[in-house]
């Protein structure tokens, strides 16, 4: 057939298919070239026109990138929505851009849209705050308070000041830590003032603990302050409840501070490094309150009374009673733990942690107002140590008593690291720190305990 110009049917079919496909692939090629965000000519021009589209490249100081992007990309999305242009940061192919302090923003779209978007981007650059970074050194003693449990406090400080606060990790737990604060001058100044306030609060706690240590009297000493200041009405009869449940006794135990923070303690009694008793210092100091309670009890139970009004009629194991102490003439709160020969009763002094034997007739019924103060002695153990043999040696026990100022009422700093199951029950496992000397001593996992 002449209109086929001598082509066979197969050749005609191939021509019909090939021409449209070739045209289609050419269209895709040019379309991709036009819409590709990363397309720029090799001559490095900042503005390139391609048909209806224009592409502009802007070098942005790295410190301004966050201002352009906004939180979760909110600002850069708004620029695109307001102008109709597409705005994005060029991916870093190498670290050269990071070292020069610049990043590249690419804007693509119609000429008028690109120009408007460029003006908004440059406005963000001009108005971006100057971000600085300062470094300060913070003594280790304050780090726990500043960071807080699971970092809650330091996150709060960052949120309040709008500055970025970062404390270096690792290193020796005794060494001061490097703290970096990033933000505007105003944000940095505000963050530093917040850190100073945290340090001031910690110093105030230390000062109160020191005063408590100075005011604490040896066991059995008389206080200068009258007991009436704590509102113990010794001239008025106040009866103890007839019975105290085990749950009520547990509620009278001194609550432990948060395990992630250091807190001040006295070591009041020691059996060995794996079992000893501490008194937790509070604010106001519970130590002074305890001294006043002991003096009030001594004054009350030392008075001559008519008949048998204060004697305990029925004594059971677990009862909380008033008992004298064999080494002085004072009265203390005690728990009945057993019965011995010759009418003696084995008692545990709930505010100190030691035991004693008292004649049955000497025990007195406690007034209910003498039960208000939580039991001050808390059983615990030292973290990271075990006896070399099955039992602790006398040398190890004596050394531990010396290092912890047992019953000398010098405060130590403690932190609960974990809870340990022992023959005495589940006890808080403590790290202890001696801050009474110029050189801070962390004494757990020390070799001389393993004797």
List, as one string, the DSSP characters of 64-111: GHHHHH-GGGHHHHHHHHHH--EEEEPPPSSTHHHHHTEEEEEEEE-H
411-438 tens-digit pLDDT: 888 888 889 998 888 999 999 988 777 5
SS3 432: strand
Flag the least confident range among 37-41, 240-244, 387-391: 37-41
Full DSSP string of 200-212: HHHHHHHHHHHHH
- Check pLDDT > 80 for residue 372: yes
Q: What are the backbone dihedrals phi and psi of residue 425, each rounded to the nearest 5 degrees, phi first?
A: 110, -175
Structure tokens at 215: 């005011």
The whole-angstrom separation of Cα 332 and Cα 373 is: 12
Pairing verdict, β 132-138 and 177-183: antiparallel
Give 95 or 412, the one with higher predicted confidence: 412
Mean pLDDT of 386-390: 86
Q: What is residue 61's three-state secondary structure? A: strand
Half-sphere exposure of 398 (CA within 13 A, CB side): 4
Please, what's the b/e burial string for 285-315 (b: 16 or more CB within 10 A of its CB; e: otherwise)? bbbbbbbbbbbbbbbbbeeeeeeeebebeee
Q: What band does 43 get if pLDDT is binned at 50, 70 and 90?
A: very low
What is the distance between the alpha carbons of residues 186 and 407, in angstroms, rounded to a whole number?
49
What's the whole-number mean pLDDT along residues 341-356?
93
Q: Could you tell me what percent of the chain has a pLDDT over 70?
A: 69
Q: What is the pLDDT of residues 63-72, one digit of tens each?
A: 788 888 888 8
CB 118 within 8 A of CB 107: yes
CA dist 366 and 120 (Å) reads 78
**pLDDT value of position 3:** 44
CA distance 147 to 216: 31
Q: How long, in residues, is the chain? A: 451
Give the span between the Cα atoms of 342 and 226, in whole angstroms. 38
Q: Partners of 132 in the beta sheet?
A: 183
Half-sphere exposure of 318 (CA within 13 A, CB side): 8
Helices (H), 162-285: 185-215, 246-251
Q: How high is the mean pLDDT of the chain?
A: 78
Alpha carbons 360 and 344: distance in angstroms, whole number: 6
pLDDT at 450: 40
pLDDT score at 242: 44
pLDDT band at 127 (very low <50, low <70, confident <90, very high): confident
Residue 247, pLDDT > 60, answer: no
Q: Which residue has the higher pLDDT, 289 or 100?
A: 289
Backbone angles phi, psi at 295, to 5 degrees: -65, -40
CA dist 437 and 53 (Å) reads 74
- Residue 72: alpha-carbon gap to chain centroid: 28
pLDDT at 253: 65
For 249-267, write each residue's pLDDT tens digit.
545 666 776 656 788 889 9
Q: Are 335 and 344 in contact (CB under 8 A)?
A: no
Residues 6+ apart with CB under 8 A from 376: 254, 268, 279, 280, 286, 287, 290, 350, 351, 352
The pLDDT score that the predictor gives to residue 405 is: 92
- 436: nearest Cα among 399, 408, 397, 416: 408
Q: Would you state the pLDDT for residue 302? A: 86
């Amino acid at each position: 057939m002449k209109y086929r110009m001598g082509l066979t049917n197969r050749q005609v079919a191939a021509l019909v298919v090939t021409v449209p496909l070739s045209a289609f692939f050419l269209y895709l090629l040019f379309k991709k070239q036009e819409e590709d965000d990363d397309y720029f000519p090799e001559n490095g021009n900042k503005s390139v026109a391609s048909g209806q589209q224009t592409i502009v490249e802007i070098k942005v100081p790295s410190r301004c990138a966050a201002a352009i992007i906004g939180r979760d990309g909110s600002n850069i999305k708004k620029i695109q929505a307001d102008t109709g242009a597409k705005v994005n940061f060029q991916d870093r192919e190498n670290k050269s851009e990071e070292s020069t302090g610049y990043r590249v923003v690419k804007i693509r779209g119609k000429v008028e849209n690109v120009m408007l978007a460029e003006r908004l981007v440059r406005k963000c650059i001009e108005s971006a705050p100057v971000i600085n970074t300062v470094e300060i050194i913070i003594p280790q003693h304050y780090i726990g308070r500043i960071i807080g449990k699971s970092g809650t406090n330091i996150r709060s400080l960052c949120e309040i000041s709008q500055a970025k606060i970062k404390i270096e990790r690792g290193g020796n737990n005794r060494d001061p830590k490097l703290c970096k604060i990033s933000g505007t001058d105003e944000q940095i100044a505000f963050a530093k003032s917040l850190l100073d306030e945290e340090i001031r609060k910690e110093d105030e706690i230390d000062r109160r603990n020191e005063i408590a240590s100075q005011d604490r009297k040896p066991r059995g000493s008389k206080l200068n302050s009258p007991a009436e200041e704590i509102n113990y009405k010794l001239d008025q009869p106040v009866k103890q409840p007839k019975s105290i449940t085990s749950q009520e006794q547990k509620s009278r135990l001194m609550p432990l501070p948060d395990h992630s923070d250091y807190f001040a303690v006295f070591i009041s009694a020691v059996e060995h490094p794996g079992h000893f008793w501490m008194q937790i210092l509070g604010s106001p100091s519970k130590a002074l309150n305890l001294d006043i309670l002991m003096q009030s009890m001594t004054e009350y139970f030392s008075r001559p009374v008519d008949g048998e009004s204060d004697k305990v009629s029925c004594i059971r194991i677990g009862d909380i009673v008033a008992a004298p102490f064999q080494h002085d003439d004072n009265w203390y709160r005690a728990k009945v733990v057993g019965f011995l020969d010759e009418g003696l009763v084995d008692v545990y002094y709930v505010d100190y942690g030691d035991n004693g034997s008292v004649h049955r007739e000497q025990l007195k019924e406690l007034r209910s107002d003498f039960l208000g103060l939580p039991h001050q002695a808390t059983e615990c153990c030292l973290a990271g140590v075990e006896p070399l043999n099955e039992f602790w040696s006398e040398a190890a026990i004596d050394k531990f008593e010396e290092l912890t100022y047992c019953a000398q009422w010098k405060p130590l700093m403690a932190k609960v690291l974990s809870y340990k199951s022992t023959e005495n029950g589940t006890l808080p496992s403590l790290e202890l720190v001696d801050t009474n000397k110029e050189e801070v001593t962390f004494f757990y996992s020390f070799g001389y305990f393993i004797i």
